[in-house]
Amino acid sequence: MGNMEKKGRIIKSISGFYDVLDNDSHELIRTRARGNFRKRGIKPVVGDFVEYDASGDLGYILEILPRTNSLVRPPIANVDQAIVVTSSVEPNFSSNLLDKILVNIEHNGIDPLIYLTKTDLLDDDKYQELKKIFDGYNRAGYVVFTDRDPYNQEQIDRLESHFADKVTVFTGQSGAGKSTLLNHINPELGLATAAISQTLNRGKHTTRQVSLFEIADGLVADTPGFSSLELISIEKEELPTLYPEFVEYSGECQFRGCNHVNEPGCMVKEKVADGTIMQSRYDNYLYFLNEINSYKKRY
């Protein structure tokens, strides 16, 4: 039996069947989950690494390997990075919303990259102003995409150069241009997304299928995710660790476990004061801390 056991990754699930991409042969094998999974309260999801047996006509998933992370919307495991699609206008850019999305993504152990859309709708002054803000995000440690022509081929190629050997999801508020961006990467992706957003009934929890497409030596999810943006699951001690530029300087704070609020000898606050860390990022941090504290009182 041992020699029949193989490893792979689920890249699609259709009503009880799971398509597994084999690690070695790179073939696609259709499988079912073993009956005892349900008893154990385990459900395989797209993105899962699995051990499976392919000796029969239909493969069987024997074991789901430990996950590094998993998302509920869309249901997907072992995500490496998220492209945060951020609109410059209609809806207008909001640093508070962007920072909230970034914090949530960091909390899930996922690398965020920021992609600015609708820059072609801005006049030059407004564009330069936004570009300056995003240069700040770049200095804070994020990869940013801010070209004047948002979907030019060179920028799309640069985005795709980050896909290799990773699982990538897309996120951002509705109307930010996720489908359009997915369309420029691969028309199949964009079509899937557009159809989903049209049939998505607000309020009803439609089970949204998610599939991973092989693109540029990586796997890309066709379903935008992260619709919920509550900070409930984040503890206030964790919040400062979700800001890469705070982490960079917190070792030089006078106190270990400095919250960067009222403590003396805080290097993070010094870096905000001298402009190294963006004031808006710090203001949003204080705002989120406050939000987390008010949750704690309510529950």
What is the chain's Cα-based Rg? Answer: 21
The annotation status of 173 as a binding-site residue, yes or no, is yes
Please give the torsion angle defined by the CA atoms of residues 197, 203, 209 and 213, in that order, rounded to the nearest 10 degrees. Answer: 40
Task: Give yes or no for a cis peptide into 66 (omega within 30° of 0).
Answer: no
297 labelled as ligand-binding?
no
The reply to whether 180 sits in an annotated binding site is yes
| Residue 179 annotated in ligand binding | yes
> Is residue 81 part of an annotated ligand binding site?
no
Please tell me whether 178 is known to bind a ligand: yes
Task: Determine the Cα–Cα distance for residues 280 and 296; give it in Å rounded to an integer.
Answer: 24
Q: Is 174 annotated as a binding residue?
A: yes
Q: Is 146 part of any known ligand binding site?
A: no
- Does the annotation flag 176 for ligand binding? yes
Q: Is 120 annotated as a binding residue?
A: yes
C-alpha dihedral (260, 114, 174, 92), degrees to nearest 10: 70
Phi first, then psi: what are they for 189, rounded to 5°?
Answer: -65, -50
Amino acid (one-letter) located at 161: S
33 is in an annotated binding site: no
Whether 57 has a binding-site annotation, put simply, is: no
- The answer to whether the annotation marks 271 as part of a ligand binding site is no
What is the DSSP pairing of strand 167-171 with strand 81-87? parallel
Strands (E), 65-211: 70-71, 76-77, 81-87, 111-117, 143-145, 167-171
CA–CA separation, 56 and 29 (whole Å): 11
Tell me whether residue 118 is annotated as binding. yes
The whole-angstrom separation of Cα 269 and Cα 185 is: 40
Tell me the two tokens of residue 179: 């489908």
171 is in an annotated binding site: no
Q: Tell me: is residue 119 an annotated ligand-binding position.
A: yes
Residue type, 104: N
Contact 185/220 with Cβ under 8 angstroms?
yes
Angstrom distance (rounded) from CA 216 to CA 209: 22
* DSSP three-state, residue 246: helix
Determine if residue 175 is labeled as part of a ligand binding site.
yes
Which residues define the annotated binding site for GTP? 117-120, 172-180
Mark the binding-site residues, compressed into ranges.
Answer: 117-120, 172-180, 253, 258, 260, 266
Binding site for Zn(2+), residues?
253, 258, 260, 266
